[in-house]
Amino acid sequence: MPACTTAAERRMLATHLPQLRADDDGVIGRFLDAAWAEHGLSKSTLASYRRDLEGLARWRDGAGGGLAGVDREGLFDYLAWRTRQGYSPRSNARLLSTLRAFFAQLVRRGERGDDPSALLDSPRLPRSLPKALAESQIEALLDAPAIDIPLGLRDRAMLELMYAAGLRVSELVGLPVNAVNLRQGVLRVTGKGSKERLVPLGEESQYWLQRYLDQARPQLSGRKAVPADGSGQVPMFIDAALRPVTRQQFWVLVKRYAAAAGIDPARISPHGLRHSFATHLLNHGADLRALQMLLGHSSLSTTQIYTLVAREHLQRLHSKHHPRG
């Protein structure tokens, strides 16, 4: 197969791999069921696990006992093949994380006596700093929606809330109505691994959220009762068909408002608002531990990446304004 570098080409190559064998599908299904029961993993994490394991299983096509029987040499060969196809080090690192969880479970259940992934080193990842917008760009982005129409007022409330609370996109679009307490100015957020955290809301985000609830949401729903989602929760942000706003819809909205605000749409993503929230808090003197709690990071090392962004900001200020800069 020829080398490739784009996601589209990799998807095309994947269609040329054999179909998933029934025995491999069963092994993957049992692993995912146990992983969900033991760790309460999110749907997106389980879907990622499935894609990784199905890719290896289809590549093996039953050789050497299929997915559950692959040895360390087989994993080496698969990783080498993925590298030739143009998969990034970050993608291969995620695959190794999946494989370690998968084989560790097989060993615990006595279905294997060894873990072939145990001695595999993760690829070295380039350090990528989060891309944050300038505060002036955030102001322009928040001002972009047309607040004289219900959809525009909804979008303004969503942008304000995501930036004010540092939410993940999935947390924003999945926010239920009963998670917001405007009287106390607090948001109850369910993050990764179904972990809950309380996030304070500022006056601006409270103002726009109250306006959305009082004006835009009743107009969008036609004053009908909004149906609950699959988990029994009533979604906060809806469209005119009473459906919750999806991640894809919000992505399109952010790109459109970025263009309207004079921001290069290629430089922004919904997650960029979360990065901007964290960076701006640190620039204004926030404590790193407090930021960790607000972002819902399980490890402080994940939060510390933002200190590098803040340090770069200070260095730019020093170079620009100090006479010896």
CA angle 244, 249, 254 (to 5 degrees): 125
- The tokens for 268 are 């922004």
**Of 72, 255, 271, 313, catalytic:** 271
168 classed as catalytic: yes
CA atoms within 13 A on the CB side of 90: 3
Return the closest-CA partner of residue 53 out of 8, 10, 95, 11.
Answer: 95
Residue 321 has a CB neighbour count (10 Å cut-off) of 8
Report whether 290 contacts 314 (CB < 8 A).
Answer: no
Element (H, E) at 189: strand 186-190
Please state, in angstroms and rounded to a whole number, the distance separating the CA atoms of residues 79 and 283: 41
274 classed as catalytic: yes
Distance of CA 85 to the CA centre of its chain: 25
Sign of CA dihedral 270, 276, 277, 278: positive
60 classed as catalytic: no
Q: Order of strands across the sheet with 186-190?
A: 180-181, 186-190, 196-200
What length is written for the chain? 325
**Of 78, 87, 163, 306, catalytic:** 306
167 Cβ contact list (under 8 Å, min separation 6): 161, 175, 189, 199, 274
**Of 156, 274, 275, 280, catalytic:** 274
280 classed as catalytic: no
**Of 168, 217, 275, 280, catalytic:** 168
**Of 94, 192, 247, 256, catalytic:** 192
Please state, in angstroms and as integers, the Cα–Cα distance from residue 117 to each residue in 67, 70, 122, 220, following that order. Answer: 13, 10, 10, 51
The pairing of strands 180-181 and 186-190 is antiparallel
The residues carrying an active-site annotation are 168, 192, 271, 274, 297, 306
